[in-house]
Structure formats: structure tokens, C-alpha cells
Amino acid sequence: MKKYKDDIKTIFEVLTYGLIYMSISTIENPIVSYSFLGLWIVYWIYNLYSKIQYRKGKADYILFPTQNDKYYKTTSITLGIIVVLLSIAGISWIKSFHYYGIIGITIGLLVLVNGLADLPKGMLQVKTNELNISGIKNKIDMRQLKEISIYKERVLLTNYDNETQRVDNLDIDTDAAKRIVSYISESTADVKTINNVQ
């Protein structure tokens, strides 16, 4: 299950964006519409909760910057503002839209706050001798890994057969590089980690 965690998360995010359309399209059936909107609220609350937990240091993985981080952040902030403004307009102009407007404002604010509190999209986790890193679908056996080289725009993972896997489109700064080195060092002493960002 964990092997497909990133794929499942992406599918779930796409489905949640579809919920807003389904909520509006079923507006003639309030129970169905409220249910979809309620699921959207639950999703964004959980998303925000996960970010808060990570910031408190209660996660067993680390995150690092990618080149798409600004896009995701801007998209969430923009979407949140649009939903809030449309909801306020709906309350002002359509009397029967009052409850939907309140729910819309709630969702818009949650999306906006999630955007403001956005975290880097690159993820690295070591668990029971297996390394899971964004950009590589399969987990890597840490016992077969010889070296991890960290650069600003990529990470190279080399095994004992000198085969290399790479993660591209990153935007790793000095702090992120140091966190990766520290995390790998705490997880295993057998893998050489080279910080080329410093």
C-alpha cells in the first residue's frame, strides 16, 4: 500500500477538486450537495492538520523544496481567494445561496490557509532499511545503496553496482541539504552522503 502512497494521494487530490463541481451540479438535492461540500472541508482540515504536525516535528520523514512548490502554493492561494469571493457574491446576490455561501467561504478560507502554510513537495523517508523518495516510484533497499549525492537541482542515488537513479526538478537550498544529510546519517551509517550544495 505504501508503495503507491504518492499515486493514491494525487488521485485523492484530483477527486477532491471534483467534489466542488459535483456539489454545485447537485445543488437541487441539498443532502448530496452538503455531503460533497462536507467531504471537501474534511479533506482540507486534514491537509492543514498534517502540515501543522510536520512543522511540530511529529513526522517520520523530511520534506525538501522542488521547482514546482511556488506553483502549488500560488494555485491554492488563488483558488482560496476565488472561492471566498464567489461565495460572498453568491450570498449578496442570491438569497437561496446563503448556506452554500457560508460553506463556500469556509472551504475557501481552508484552501487559502493551506496555501499560505504550504510545505515543500519533495519527500524522503527511511523505514526498515527502505528509502522512499519523491520522483522514484519503487522503494530503494538502503543496504544496496552506496552513495547519495545532493545537488541544488537533483539528487543522485548510487548502488554498489554503480547504477544511478536520479531525482530531478528540485530546488534544494543549503538548509534543506543539511537536513537531508542529517536525516540519512541518523537513519543509517552505511550510506555515504555528499552535500554539493553547502
- What are the boundaries of each domain within the chain? 2-116, 124-195
Q: Quick check: 198 pLDDT over 90?
A: no
pTM (predicted TM-score): 0.76
Phi, psi of 63 (to 5 degrees): -115, 150
- Percentage of residues in the chain with pLDDT exceeding 70? 82
**Closest-CA residue to 66 (of 121, 132, 123, 135):** 121
Residue 2: pLDDT band with limits 50, 70, 90:
very low
Determine which of 42-51, 112-121, 172-181, 189-198 has the lowest per-residue pLDDT on average. Answer: 189-198
pLDDT for 45: 92
Q: Is the dihedral of CA 48, 22, 87, 97 positive or negative?
A: negative
Mean pLDDT value of segment 138-146: 90
pLDDT of residue 24: 53
Which residue's entry shows cell 449578496?
92
What tens digit of pLDDT does each residue of 174-187 get?
A: 999 999 999 998 88
More confidently predicted of 95 and 168: 168
Measure Cα distances from 194 to 68, 146, 176, 180 in Å.
24, 11, 13, 10
- Residue 132 pLDDT more than 70? yes
Residue 67 has pLDDT above 70, yes or no: yes
For the domain 124-195, what is the CATH code?
2.30.29
**Residue range 100-126: mean pLDDT, rounded:** 90
What is the average pLDDT value for the chain, to the nearest integer? 83
Model pLDDT, residue 4 = 47
With cut-offs at 50, 70 and 90, classify the pLDDT of residue 29. low
